[in-house]
Chains A and B, each alone.
Chain A
Amino acid sequence: MSAAPAPVLPVLQLPPRVDLQGWRDVRADFPVLHQHVGSKPLVYLDNAATTHKPRTVIDVLSRFYEADNSNVHRGLHALSMRATDGYEAARARAARFINAAAPEEVVFTRGTTESINLVAQSWGPANLKAGDVILLTEMEHHSNLVPWQLLAQRTGATLRYVPVAGENAEHGLDLDSLDKLLTPEVKIFAFTHISNTLGVINPVADLCARAKKVGAITVVDAAQSSGHEPLDVQKIDCDFLAFSGHKMAGPTGIGILYGRRALLDAMPPWQGGGGMISQVEFFQSKWKPSPERFEAGTPNVADAIGLHAAMDYLDLLGRDKIAAHDDGLAEKAYAALSELPGIRILGPKGKRGGLVSFALQDAHAHDVVTFADQDGVALRGGHHCNQPLMKKLGLPSTVRASFYVYNTPEDIDVLVASMRRILKFFS
């Protein structure tokens, strides 16, 4: 007989890190960072697209498949019970991570995009009619824009946008216009916490409070904030909040939709199948309460458990410290890049989230990204799923550098040196 199986719950065996010196040790936790691209050491600055995973998350995933793999719920055997316990523990952990009132307010999804589509497709048709207004902002990612276009087409509701202010959107949202836009016809107001292109940090609690006054429900896209700073849905006082595991040191394919319990319980299912029903007859069925109502089919058990490990890891580092670290790097990058000739940097000059996107007058974003790759620097170039915003700013594409816990000030030196080489080449 072999030894007893390892417990399913992730157990972290990392020394706590409290001081800034410790940030360098963080790199040792991420196996993927220790490689060369061509002949140059990898400098990974594409974290707004996806972050890397610490060893602890990778180990938890392996251990689940090696020791506990089973389908969840209804299972009466040992492995199924362990898998169910692990999956539900991850839900409870996610609730604590965002200070939700109860685990039942946490629905597992594939990611931010699916979370927002869930609200648009379930809450939307049940609550919107022709003449109602869906309020968005001009800085929304396509994932917080297209689902609402589809809903508007389906219900006859109309879309309205809070504009961004400044020729480089450096003033963020034009909040002065909000009172005019936030009329009683607005039934839902969806906005991003941190813009993935501009780095603007929106005053989410204030936006929710103002929406509440006109009776609009609120959806916060926290894809770019969940892995970088503390989130408290009760303080923000939002109705829904969405984020992805893979942008916060967790696995791909798992995400969270937080919803107020009263709202979730009143929403119809959006997908049918096993796991979401309490009773099925040939011509009708009854639904389980939330969150199971919204999780038809076998859920992504392994990655939920991996996300649990990621949340533990981030809280071990301290999310307030992560925010100071990542935002600090972005401010340093802004200052260093702004010395380059012919550069146009988007977003606020001061306090910003952990990313900087910019355009060079003499070199197109794709050429810049190809060049930087030769220097080992991983950047992103393009419209960043913000086509309408880019069009408004008169830019076909930008280059984006985005930072995470394992990045260092030296990474910015490498980035800027690479940019200087590119400018010289194209001058």
Chain B
Amino acid sequence: MSDLSDLYQSVILDHNKRPRNRGKLPTANRYATGDNPTCGDNCTVYLHTTPDGRIDAISFEGSGCAISQASASLMTTQLKGKNLEEAEKAYEEFARIVKTGEEPEEFTELAAFAGVHAYPARIKCATLSWHAAIDALKQPEGQP
């Protein structure tokens, strides 16, 4: 069994304690909610997108474990400025890291999530907010 410090790296603990972009986004024009029915965790992602479909503001709300909260916080910092295609590519990279434990192609804070792969039950915690963000990008425009 791998050491817990591999799972709970300082980057994750920091994002859990001081989440970035947490709370409702007053200017949001798109949003989506994801649920993890096995544990009751939930995450709503709010976006404001430009007319050409780029995220220029993003926030999240919800409750969950340290892994899910830190992942949501980090996700908001990673997806800002991206359009749907780029966001999906970023998610694929993140999913590869949490599922295989491999390092990211370029070094980013995402590397902190490589430890999750040793805990298959927790992969869903890490990906919940990313799914909600991609889902939000696909929603028609509307106020939350």
Contacts and interface: CB of A to CB of B under 8 A. Distances in A.
B142 interface: no
Interface string B44-72: 00000000000000000001111101000
Contact of B39 (A371, A381, A425): A381
B67 A367 contact: yes
Contacts of B39: 365-366, 381-383, 397
B4 A396 contact: no
A364 interface: yes
Contact of B41 (A371, A374, A390, A396): A396
A364 B119 contact: no
Contacts of B4: 370-371, 374, 425
A364 B40 contact: no
B115 to A, nearest CB: 11
Please report whether the interface of chain A is mostly helix, strand, loop or mixed according to DSSP.
helix
A426 B14 CA distance: 10
Contact of B65 (A365, A374, A383, A425): A365
B122 interface: yes
Interface in B111-125: 119, 122, 125
B1 A367 contact: no
The interface size bin for chain A is 10 to 19
B38 interface: yes
Given A365-B65, A366-B125, A370-B122, A382 B1 contact: no
B28 interface: no
B67 A396 contact: no
Contacts of A363: 66
A60 to B, nearest CB: 33
A425 B63 contact: no
A5 interface: no
B138 to A, nearest CB: 26
30 contacts: A38-B1, A364-B63, A364-B64, A364-B69, A365-B39, A365-B65, A366-B39, A367-B8, A367-B65, A367-B66, A370-B4, A370-B7, A370-B119, A370-B122, A371-B4, A374-B1, A374-B4, A382-B39, A382-B40, A383-B39, A383-B40, A396-B40, A396-B41, A396-B42, A396-B63, A396-B64, A397-B39, A397-B40, A397-B41, A425-B8
The 9 tightest CB contacts between A and B, nearest first, are: A366-B65, A364-B65, A383-B40, A396-B63, A38-B1, A382-B39, A367-B65, A367-B66, A397-B40
Interface of A: 38, 363-367, 370-371, 374, 381-383, 387, 390, 396-397, 425-426
